[in-house]
Amino acid sequence: MSAAKWRPGRGWATAGAYAALAAGGILVVFPFAWMLATALKAPREIFELHFWPHAPTLDNVRDVLLRTQFPRWFANSLGIALVTTASVAFFDSLAGYTFAKLRFPGRTAVFVVILSTLMIPTEMLVIPWYTMSARLGWINTYWGIMFPGLASAFGVFLMRQFMSGVPEELLDAARIDGLSELGLFTRVALPLVRPALAALCIFTFLGNWNAFLWPLIVIQTPEMRTLPVGIALFSGEAGSSWHLIMAASALAVLPVLGVFAILQRQIIEGVVLTGLRG
Amino acid sequence: MAFFLTIRLAPAATALTISLHRWNIIGTDQPYVGFANFREIAADPLFWKAIRNTVRYAAVGIPAQLALGFGAALLLRAVVGLRGFFRALYFIPFVTPVVAAAWVWQWMYSPQFGPLGRLFGTVGLTVPALLRTPSLALYAVTAMVVWQYLGFQVVIFLAGLEAIPRAYYEAAAVDGAGGWRLFRHITVPLLNPTLVFSIVYGTIVYLQLFTQVLNMTFGDPGGPLGSTETVVLYVYTQGFQRFHMGQAAAATVVLFAVIMLISLGQLSLLSRPVEY
């Protein structure tokens, strides 16, 4: 605000807005501070009244890393989320391009069928997935955890919307220049929808990183657990060892916050880009 | 291309048909039982409790996160500096792993050792065990979910507010409209699509509430006297802990029907032209 426009009333309003935002911000962030404070406390200190540990210690973090299979769970989640994201990016962008730019009989009907699967909640599918996995021996395998997420109907819808925005003239020009259909897709269409594809990748990754219901059902042994399932079951067994539960939570939360700190602009813009259209 | 199509479509179509037909019974022998599963869950008081609770979660949580999100978005519009910072700050819970966050909140609600308990403890008051009190547990869980989705709402509202052309405000101001009337007659009606989207999105989130509830009342899923039970938690305990797959599947069909009605409702609401 320029000095010329400054009025006393206005200044107070701005100060009030900042104060309210800061108060809200403290409330929003408080659980994280609480988590860290407990994670860094020695066991005897967690039931004492002071907020911040007098002698911060990394013992809890070390215990979680060494005495549980936390590193394994982390690696499981990372691997599953990466493979799923790559698969979704590949299939959904191709399918989106197909639906947006290629003409073939039944195009609309097939697209509508895919779109209608969006209305089916995951919760309804876990039972058929489970019986199918049991029949095919997929229970407690990485494939079993991943297969439902390898392509997403929402992703196809999103990519089709954005691919439709790729100008036909551009594709025709490239066609005349002798580019193959696959070349049109990789060299013309894909670069133009990069922001949407990036958003799709980020949300697919986050969704799989956080997925809980299906992994909880399909995983049976400790070493196959994903991070959310591992933390839930570990915490359930840890009873009142809150210093260990909070240390495990912190280990799960901090890497995500680190990534968010780097990518926050893309992530938030991705919400706007995809959320308002979805 | 056709190859990708078939392998994309086939699983989707199978999932659809399987899910629509599996409600009979899953077990060693699988006799066709017609609507018996539906009758059984309809006779189960816990199922009705789950439905009532799910409606309550939505009825409390959605207005709360809309109001707070809208308020925060308006405040952010009022400031210039640090807008991006606050937007990111409020957004953090949305990207935080849900399971870990639920356990942090469970620990925060500890009556003796949580921050609230300590604060009141210093003045000699005791705080009830929020998650163990049937009348309060549901609201304690809702507070966590609102915390989680607040930042998302803020971002959605900010985008909606930014999409309103400045010229409308300027024109109305020339006509002599003041702050409240600008808000009432320009901001609110033009934000209608954003509001509809937020409500529908929120409804679907609350209808599928599971992870937060299971993790915040882990030792006693569904909370004291089933007071935090949700439809999806009911599906999970019926299907995968008691292995009553038939009843669980029937409950998911009910959930599906509700979600489909809401999605169709959204379509008809959104495709209605907005009149200025």
Rounded to whole angstroms, how far apart are CA atoms A9 and A234? 55
Looking at the fold, whether A38 and A172 belong to one and the same domain comes out as no
For chain A, list the strands marked E by DSSP: none
Contacts of A72 (CB under 8 A, 6+ apart): A223, A225
Whether residue A136 sits in one domain with residue A185? yes
Task: Give residues 28 to 47 of A whose Cβ lies within 8 Å of B.
Answer: 28-32, 34-35, 38, 46-47
**B187 interface with A at CB cutoff 8 Å:** no
- What percentage of chain A has pLDDT greater than the value 90? 8
Looking at residue B275, its pLDDT comes to: 47
Rounded (10°) CA dihedral A121, A127, A128, A130: 120
Tell me what ipTM this predicted complex has: 0.84
CATH of residue A154's domain is 1.10.3720.10
Q: Is residue B123 part of a domain?
A: yes
Given this model, what pLDDT does residue A278 score?
A: 39
Q: Domain check: are A42 and A82 in the same one?
A: no
Which CATH number does the domain housing residue B82 bear?
Answer: 1.10.3720.10
Least CB–CB distance from B9: residue in A30, A114, A236: A114
Least confident of A32-36, A51-55, A116-120, A170-174: A116-120
Spell out the residues 6+ positions from residue B177 whose beta carbon is closer than 8 angstroms to its own: B185
CB burial of residue A225 (10 Å; 0-12, 13-18, 19+) = buried
Residue A143 in contact with partner chain B when CB distance is under 8 A: no
Provide, as residue numbers in chain B, all residues whose Cβ is less than 8 Å from the Cβ of A213: 210-211, 232, 236
B83 and chain A in contact, CB less than 8 A: no
**Could you identify the residue written with the tokens 């919307």?**
A161
Average pLDDT estimate for B66-82: 88
Q: Three-state DSSP class for B115?
A: helix
Number of domains in chain B: 1
pLDDT tens profile B197-207: 888 888 888 98
Residue-number span of the structural domain to which B194 is assigned: 36-271
With respect to residue B242, please indicate whether it lies within any of the assigned structural domains: yes
A36 & A87 share domain: no
Q: Which domain holds residue A214?
A: 71-275
With respect to residue A118, please indicate whether it lies within any of the assigned structural domains. yes
In angstroms, rounded to a whole number, what is the distance separating the alpha carbons of residues B115 and B218? 21
State whether residue A81 sits within 8 Å of chain B by CB. Answer: no
Q: How many other CB atoms are there within 10 angstroms of residue B263's CB atom?
A: 15
Number of H helices, E strands in chain B: 14, 0
Mean pLDDT of chain B: 78
Query: Which of A83-92, A115-124, B115-124 tops mean pLDDT?
Result: A83-92
Q: Does B243 touch chain A (CB under 8 A)?
A: no
Residue A65 within any structural domain of the chain: no
* pLDDT of amino acid B146: 94
Query: For residue A256, is it left (φ>0), alpha (ψ between -120 and 50) or beta?
Result: alpha
| pLDDT tens figures, A242-274 | 888 888 899 989 888 888 888 888 888 888 877
Do A227 and A99 belong together in one domain?
yes
A211 and A234 both lie in a single domain: yes
* pLDDT at residue A4, rounded to an integer: 42
Distances (CA, A) of A192 to A165, B4, B8: 9, 22, 23
Each residue's pLDDT tens digit, B27-65: 445 556 666 677 777 778 888 888 889 999 999 999 999
Cα A209 from Cα A43, distance rounded (Å): 29
The number of folded domains in chain A is 2
Select the residue of A25, A117, A231 nearest B86 (Cβ to Cβ): A25
Give the torsion sign (CA, A242, A244, A248, A251): positive
CB contact under 8 A, B97 and A264: no
The predicted pLDDT at position B271 comes to: 61
A232 has a pLDDT exceeding 70? yes
Distances, alpha carbon A189 to alpha carbons A91, A171, A199, A268, in Å: 15, 8, 16, 24
A80/chain B closest Cα distance in angstroms: 15
Per-residue pLDDT of A125-182, as tens digits, reads: 787 788 778 888 888 888 888 888 887 878 888 888 888 888 888 888 888 888 887 8
For residue A66, tell me if it sits in a domain: no
Q: Which of B8, B210, B260 sits opposite A91 (nearest CB)?
A: B8
Residues of A in contact with B118 (CB under 8 A): 49
Query: How far does A228 lie from chain B, in Å, by closest CA?
Result: 6
Residues B111-169 have pLDDT tens digits of 777 777 777 767 766 777 778 777 788 888 999 999 999 999 999 998 888 888 888 88
pLDDT band at A9 (very low <50, low <70, confident <90, very high): low
For residue B255, is it within any domain? yes
| Span of A186-190, A212-216, B176-180 with lowest mean pLDDT | B176-180
Find residues 124-163 of chain B whose CB sits inside 8 Å of chain A: 147, 150-152, 155-156, 159-160
Chain B contact set for A225 (CB, 8 A)? none
